[in-house]
Amino acid sequence: MNNQICKAKIEVKNLTIHFGKVRALHDLSLDVRANEILSVIGPANSGKTSFLRSLNRLNDFEPHIRISGSVRLDGLDIRTDIEAEDLRKRVGMIFALPIPLPRSIYDNITYGPRLAGLRDRAALDRIVEDSLKAAFLWDEVKDRLRSSAQKLSGGQQQRLCIARTLALRPEVILFDEPCSGLDPISTAKVEESMLELRKDQTIVLVTNNTKQAARVGTRTAFFLMGELVEIDATEKIFTAPRDPRTNDYIVGRFG
Protein backbone atom coordinates (compact mmCIF):
# COMPACT_ATOMS: atom_id res chain seq x y z
CA MET A 1 0.00 0.00 0.00
CA ASN A 2 1.14 3.53 -0.74
CA ASN A 3 2.88 4.99 2.34
CA GLN A 4 1.25 8.36 1.66
CA ILE A 5 -2.19 6.79 2.08
CA CYS A 6 -1.16 5.19 5.39
CA LYS A 7 0.15 8.44 6.87
CA ALA A 8 -2.26 10.17 9.27
CA LYS A 9 -3.23 13.66 8.11
CA ILE A 10 -5.60 14.19 11.05
CA GLU A 11 -5.35 12.51 14.45
CA VAL A 12 -8.36 12.62 16.76
CA LYS A 13 -7.74 11.47 20.34
CA ASN A 14 -10.37 11.05 23.09
CA LEU A 15 -12.57 13.80 21.62
CA THR A 16 -15.67 14.53 23.70
CA ILE A 17 -18.11 17.33 22.87
CA HIS A 18 -21.00 18.65 24.95
CA PHE A 19 -23.52 21.28 23.84
CA GLY A 20 -24.80 22.41 27.20
CA LYS A 21 -25.97 19.23 28.92
CA VAL A 22 -26.21 17.27 25.68
CA ARG A 23 -23.29 15.04 24.83
CA ALA A 24 -22.74 14.93 21.07
CA LEU A 25 -19.52 12.90 20.99
CA HIS A 26 -17.90 10.64 23.56
CA ASP A 27 -14.23 9.68 23.71
CA LEU A 28 -13.74 9.55 19.94
CA SER A 29 -10.36 8.44 18.64
CA LEU A 30 -9.56 7.88 14.97
CA ASP A 31 -7.12 8.93 12.25
CA VAL A 32 -7.87 10.38 8.84
CA ARG A 33 -5.23 9.25 6.40
CA ALA A 34 -3.63 11.50 3.81
CA ASN A 35 -5.32 11.37 0.39
CA GLU A 36 -8.17 9.14 1.45
CA ILE A 37 -11.92 9.65 1.41
CA LEU A 38 -13.21 8.79 4.86
CA SER A 39 -16.96 8.23 4.70
CA VAL A 40 -18.80 8.77 7.99
CA ILE A 41 -22.21 7.14 8.32
CA GLY A 42 -24.75 6.73 11.09
CA PRO A 43 -28.34 7.66 12.02
CA ALA A 44 -29.48 11.13 13.02
CA ASN A 45 -27.95 12.44 16.26
CA SER A 46 -25.02 10.05 16.05
CA GLY A 47 -22.45 12.86 16.22
CA LYS A 48 -21.37 12.84 12.57
CA THR A 49 -21.68 16.57 11.91
CA SER A 50 -20.31 17.51 15.34
CA PHE A 51 -17.24 15.44 14.49
CA LEU A 52 -16.91 17.05 11.06
CA ARG A 53 -17.24 20.59 12.40
CA SER A 54 -14.65 19.86 15.08
CA LEU A 55 -12.01 19.35 12.38
CA ASN A 56 -11.96 23.05 11.44
CA ARG A 57 -13.30 24.46 14.70
CA LEU A 58 -16.69 25.52 13.40
CA ASN A 59 -18.14 24.17 16.63
CA ASP A 60 -16.43 27.06 18.39
CA PHE A 61 -19.30 29.28 17.27
CA GLU A 62 -21.83 27.23 19.23
CA PRO A 63 -22.91 28.57 22.64
CA HIS A 64 -22.28 26.55 25.79
CA ILE A 65 -19.94 24.12 24.07
CA ARG A 66 -17.42 22.06 26.03
CA ILE A 67 -14.65 20.17 24.25
CA SER A 68 -12.04 17.80 25.62
CA GLY A 69 -9.51 15.63 23.85
CA SER A 70 -7.45 16.72 20.87
CA VAL A 71 -7.46 17.06 17.10
CA ARG A 72 -4.10 17.30 15.34
CA LEU A 73 -3.43 18.34 11.75
CA ASP A 74 -0.01 17.19 10.54
CA GLY A 75 0.94 16.75 14.20
CA LEU A 76 -0.17 20.25 15.27
CA ASP A 77 -2.97 20.70 17.79
CA ILE A 78 -5.65 22.71 15.98
CA ARG A 79 -6.74 24.50 19.16
CA THR A 80 -3.33 25.58 20.47
CA ASP A 81 -0.86 25.45 17.56
CA ILE A 82 -2.88 26.81 14.62
CA GLU A 83 -4.88 30.04 14.41
CA ALA A 84 -8.54 29.38 13.55
CA GLU A 85 -8.37 31.54 10.40
CA ASP A 86 -5.33 29.66 9.13
CA LEU A 87 -6.92 26.34 10.01
CA ARG A 88 -10.03 27.08 7.93
CA LYS A 89 -7.86 27.94 4.93
CA ARG A 90 -6.20 24.55 5.24
CA VAL A 91 -9.42 22.66 6.07
CA GLY A 92 -12.30 23.77 3.84
CA MET A 93 -15.93 22.74 4.17
CA ILE A 94 -18.78 22.07 1.77
CA PHE A 95 -22.24 22.25 3.33
CA ALA A 96 -25.45 20.41 2.45
CA LEU A 97 -27.09 23.57 1.10
CA PRO A 98 -25.04 25.38 -1.55
CA ILE A 99 -24.89 29.11 -0.86
CA PRO A 100 -23.24 30.99 -3.73
CA LEU A 101 -22.38 34.60 -3.12
CA PRO A 102 -24.73 37.09 -4.86
CA ARG A 103 -22.00 37.77 -7.40
CA SER A 104 -20.79 36.43 -10.71
CA ILE A 105 -19.38 32.93 -11.09
CA TYR A 106 -15.93 34.47 -11.55
CA ASP A 107 -16.23 36.65 -8.45
CA ASN A 108 -17.40 33.69 -6.34
CA ILE A 109 -14.20 31.81 -7.14
CA THR A 110 -11.87 34.77 -6.70
CA TYR A 111 -13.46 36.09 -3.50
CA GLY A 112 -11.16 34.14 -1.17
CA PRO A 113 -7.90 34.74 -3.07
CA ARG A 114 -8.69 38.46 -3.30
CA LEU A 115 -9.35 38.63 0.43
CA ALA A 116 -5.94 37.01 0.85
CA GLY A 117 -4.41 39.86 -1.14
CA LEU A 118 -4.06 38.39 -4.63
CA ARG A 119 -4.59 41.03 -7.31
CA ASP A 120 -2.81 39.64 -10.35
CA ARG A 121 -5.49 39.12 -13.03
CA ALA A 122 -3.67 36.34 -14.85
CA ALA A 123 -3.19 34.44 -11.59
CA LEU A 124 -6.86 34.89 -10.69
CA ASP A 125 -7.90 33.68 -14.14
CA ARG A 126 -5.81 30.53 -13.67
CA ILE A 127 -7.34 29.89 -10.25
CA VAL A 128 -10.85 30.22 -11.68
CA GLU A 129 -10.17 27.81 -14.53
CA ASP A 130 -8.26 25.28 -12.42
CA SER A 131 -10.85 25.31 -9.62
CA LEU A 132 -13.82 24.96 -11.94
CA LYS A 133 -12.14 22.13 -13.82
CA ALA A 134 -11.39 20.31 -10.57
CA ALA A 135 -15.07 20.67 -9.61
CA PHE A 136 -16.16 19.36 -13.04
CA LEU A 137 -17.97 22.62 -13.83
CA TRP A 138 -15.65 24.44 -16.25
CA ASP A 139 -17.16 23.14 -19.48
CA GLU A 140 -20.66 24.13 -18.36
CA VAL A 141 -19.86 27.72 -17.34
CA LYS A 142 -16.66 28.81 -19.14
CA ASP A 143 -18.63 31.02 -21.54
CA ARG A 144 -20.64 32.78 -18.83
CA LEU A 145 -18.22 33.46 -16.01
CA ARG A 146 -19.59 37.00 -15.60
CA SER A 147 -23.20 35.84 -15.14
CA SER A 148 -24.79 35.51 -11.73
CA ALA A 149 -23.90 32.39 -9.78
CA GLN A 150 -27.46 32.33 -8.45
CA LYS A 151 -28.74 31.47 -11.93
CA LEU A 152 -27.00 28.10 -11.83
CA SER A 153 -28.91 24.91 -11.08
CA GLY A 154 -28.68 23.40 -7.60
CA GLY A 155 -26.12 20.84 -8.69
CA GLN A 156 -24.04 23.47 -10.44
CA GLN A 157 -24.21 25.71 -7.38
CA GLN A 158 -22.87 22.89 -5.21
CA ARG A 159 -19.97 22.31 -7.60
CA LEU A 160 -19.36 26.07 -7.65
CA CYS A 161 -19.08 25.98 -3.86
CA ILE A 162 -16.55 23.16 -4.21
CA ALA A 163 -14.60 25.26 -6.71
CA ARG A 164 -14.77 28.28 -4.40
CA THR A 165 -13.28 26.19 -1.61
CA LEU A 166 -10.58 24.82 -3.92
CA ALA A 167 -9.52 28.34 -4.85
CA LEU A 168 -7.81 28.61 -1.45
CA ARG A 169 -5.91 25.36 -2.06
CA PRO A 170 -7.03 23.52 1.10
CA GLU A 171 -5.26 20.38 2.23
CA VAL A 172 -8.45 18.83 3.63
CA ILE A 173 -12.04 19.17 2.42
CA LEU A 174 -14.99 18.35 4.67
CA PHE A 175 -18.26 17.41 2.95
CA ASP A 176 -21.42 17.58 5.06
CA GLU A 177 -24.23 15.83 3.15
CA PRO A 178 -23.17 17.57 -0.10
CA CYS A 179 -25.68 15.72 -2.28
CA SER A 180 -28.72 15.63 0.01
CA GLY A 181 -30.76 17.94 -2.25
CA LEU A 182 -29.33 16.94 -5.63
CA ASP A 183 -30.65 14.77 -8.45
CA PRO A 184 -28.76 11.58 -9.41
CA ILE A 185 -26.88 13.19 -12.31
CA SER A 186 -25.64 16.08 -10.17
CA THR A 187 -24.78 13.65 -7.38
CA ALA A 188 -22.67 11.60 -9.77
CA LYS A 189 -20.75 14.70 -10.85
CA VAL A 190 -20.05 15.72 -7.24
CA GLU A 191 -18.86 12.20 -6.47
CA GLU A 192 -16.66 12.22 -9.57
CA SER A 193 -15.16 15.47 -8.34
CA MET A 194 -14.46 13.97 -4.90
CA LEU A 195 -12.69 10.97 -6.41
CA GLU A 196 -10.51 13.25 -8.51
CA LEU A 197 -9.77 15.62 -5.62
CA ARG A 198 -8.47 12.73 -3.55
CA LYS A 199 -5.28 12.83 -5.63
CA ASP A 200 -4.27 16.11 -3.96
CA GLN A 201 -6.57 16.53 -0.97
CA THR A 202 -7.76 14.53 2.01
CA ILE A 203 -11.54 14.22 2.19
CA VAL A 204 -13.97 13.52 5.02
CA LEU A 205 -17.52 12.87 3.83
CA VAL A 206 -20.51 12.78 6.18
CA THR A 207 -23.45 11.19 4.41
CA ASN A 208 -26.77 9.54 5.22
CA ASN A 209 -26.58 7.81 1.84
CA THR A 210 -24.89 4.50 2.56
CA LYS A 211 -24.66 3.74 -1.16
CA GLN A 212 -22.72 6.96 -1.66
CA ALA A 213 -20.38 6.05 1.20
CA ALA A 214 -19.81 2.68 -0.44
CA ARG A 215 -19.18 4.22 -3.87
CA VAL A 216 -16.57 6.79 -2.91
CA GLY A 217 -15.16 5.94 0.52
CA THR A 218 -11.66 4.59 0.94
CA ARG A 219 -12.60 3.75 4.53
CA THR A 220 -15.88 4.11 6.34
CA ALA A 221 -16.62 4.95 9.98
CA PHE A 222 -19.93 4.08 11.61
CA PHE A 223 -21.12 6.38 14.40
CA LEU A 224 -23.96 5.61 16.82
CA MET A 225 -25.21 7.77 19.70
CA GLY A 226 -22.06 9.88 19.74
CA GLU A 227 -19.61 7.00 19.68
CA LEU A 228 -17.48 5.35 17.03
CA VAL A 229 -18.71 1.78 16.62
CA GLU A 230 -16.13 0.77 14.04
CA ILE A 231 -13.92 2.02 11.22
CA ASP A 232 -12.43 -0.08 8.47
CA ALA A 233 -11.91 -0.40 4.72
CA THR A 234 -15.21 0.49 3.04
CA GLU A 235 -15.54 -2.88 1.32
CA LYS A 236 -15.17 -4.65 4.66
CA ILE A 237 -17.65 -2.38 6.45
CA PHE A 238 -20.28 -3.09 3.80
CA THR A 239 -19.64 -6.82 3.39
CA ALA A 240 -18.28 -8.11 6.70
CA PRO A 241 -18.63 -5.57 9.52
CA ARG A 242 -17.32 -6.64 12.92
CA ASP A 243 -20.18 -5.17 14.93
CA PRO A 244 -23.76 -6.38 14.35
CA ARG A 245 -25.04 -2.83 14.90
CA THR A 246 -23.14 -1.72 11.81
CA ASN A 247 -24.75 -4.44 9.74
CA ASP A 248 -28.19 -3.61 11.13
CA TYR A 249 -27.78 0.02 10.08
CA ILE A 250 -26.46 -0.81 6.60
CA VAL A 251 -29.30 -3.23 5.84
CA GLY A 252 -31.88 -0.71 7.09
CA ARG A 253 -33.05 -2.29 10.34
CA PHE A 254 -32.78 1.16 11.97
CA GLY A 255 -31.74 4.71 11.11
Q: What is the pLDDT of residues 155-189, one digit of tens each?
A: 999 999 999 999 999 999 999 999 998 999 999 99
In a domain, residue 255? The reply is no
Q: Which residue from 182, 176, 179, 235 is spatially nearest to 204, judged by alpha carbons? A: 176
CATH of residue 230 = 3.40.50.300
What pLDDT does residue 6 have? 65
100: in domain = yes
Indicate whether 172 belongs to any domain: yes
Is the pLDDT score of 215 beyond 80? Answer: yes
Sign of the Cα torsion 196, 73, 51, 226 reads: positive
Q: Output the CA–CA distances (angstroms, integers) from residue 226 to 29, 39, 62, 245, in the order listed.
A: 12, 16, 17, 14
The domain of 45 spans 3-250
Q: What is the pLDDT of residue 128?
A: 98
Domain count, the chain: 1
Is 119 a domain residue? yes
pTM (2 decimals)? 0.93
The strand pairing partners of 38, in sequence order, are 204, 219
Element (H, E) at 50: helix 48-54
Q: Are strands 219-224 and 202-206 parallel, antiparallel or unpaired?
A: unpaired
Q: How many CA atoms lie within 13 A of 14 on its CB side?
A: 2
The DSSP output letter for 90 is H
Q: Please, which residues bridge with residue 232 across strands?
A: 220
Q: What percent of the chain has pLDDT over 90?
A: 95
Mean pLDDT over 113-132 rounds to 96
Question: Is the model's pLDDT at 3 over the cut of 90?
Answer: no
Give the contacts of 134 (CB within 8 A, at least 6 positions apart).
162, 163, 166, 193, 196, 197
The confidence band for 120, taking pLDDT boundaries of 50, 70 and 90, is very high
**Of 152, 171, 217, the residue nearest 78 (C-alpha):** 171
pLDDT (tens digit per residue) in 48-97: 999 999 999 999 999 999 999 999 999 999 999 999 999 999 999 999 99
